[in-house]
Amino acid sequence: DAGVIQSPRHEVTEMGQEVTLRCKPISGHNSLFWYRQTMMRGLELLIYFNNNVPIDDSGMPEDRFSAKMPNASFSTLKIQPSEPRDSAVYFCASSYPILRTSGIYNEQFFGPGTRLTVL
Amino acid sequence: QKEVEQNSGPLSVPEGAIASLNCTYSDRGSQSFFWYRQYSGKSPELIMFIYSNGDKEDGRFTAQLNKASQYVSLLIRDSQPSDSATYLCAAKTSYDKVIFGPGTSLSVIP
């Protein structure tokens, strides 16, 4: 399996422009997560989907951010309009449930990330 | 108070020594805990998970969990320069969300 695929790997844009980040999860995984990582704030969960349905978007910073998952093999994170403070590495991760004696846990597999710079 | 806390480091240990990484969490209902390793410029990768009190060993890695103290640790025995990375502690909270700590930077000196 190719793992989680993200594109683009690097994006440089100017303030006010629309940015779209793309993610293809691992085939068969039913959960998908979007994270943002900065030095100041660490790794923050923005939104996650289960079976293509958004479950928790409480981490989305504001209305400028939106995410969609039209099918099990594709998701987008859109920022419109972008601002310099949005500069960060954005990771997509996917997971599937693993049953253990203590219950179910999900191992998240991360994509390589998209490094976004907003000038 | 942050939900998952770690010492940011950097933690420096000589090659061959034991590296000890610590993590505390605030949600007493958290059940599962994870250690991820992240090399500079790369994405996090899962190296250990633990859900029962006590120790869990996997090769040179040992995860320790003490739910009463809300404390998780990761021991790396016989540290190697290739272990130099940032280690992220994560907890699956009682409201079913995985929260990551800020990470501890580890440097293993040859």
pLDDT in tens, B23-70: 999 999 888 899 999 999 999 999 998 988 888 888 999 999 999 999
pLDDT of A1 over the 90 cut: no
Residues 6+ apart with CB under 8 A from A105: A97, A98, B32, B49, B51, B92
Cβ–Cβ below 8 Å for B46 and A111? no
Residues 6+ apart with CB under 8 A from A80: A18, A19, A64, A66
User: A119 falls in which pLDDT band (50, 70, 90)?
Assistant: very high
Give the pLDDT of residue A100: 66
- List the single best residue of A9, A26, A43, A106 to mutate versus B (max B Cβ within 10 A): A43
B77 to chain A, minimum CA–CA distance in Å? 24
Sign, CA torsion A84/A85/A89/A94: negative
User: In angstroms, what CA-CA distances link B6 with A38, A54, A104, B24?
Assistant: 16, 30, 25, 7
Taking the CB of residue B24, how many other CB atoms lie within 10 A of it?
A: 20
Q: Judge residue A82's burial from the number of C-beta atoms within 10 Å of its C-beta, 0-12 exposed, 13-18 middle, 19 or more buried.
A: buried
Report the share of chain B in percent with pLDDT over 90: 73
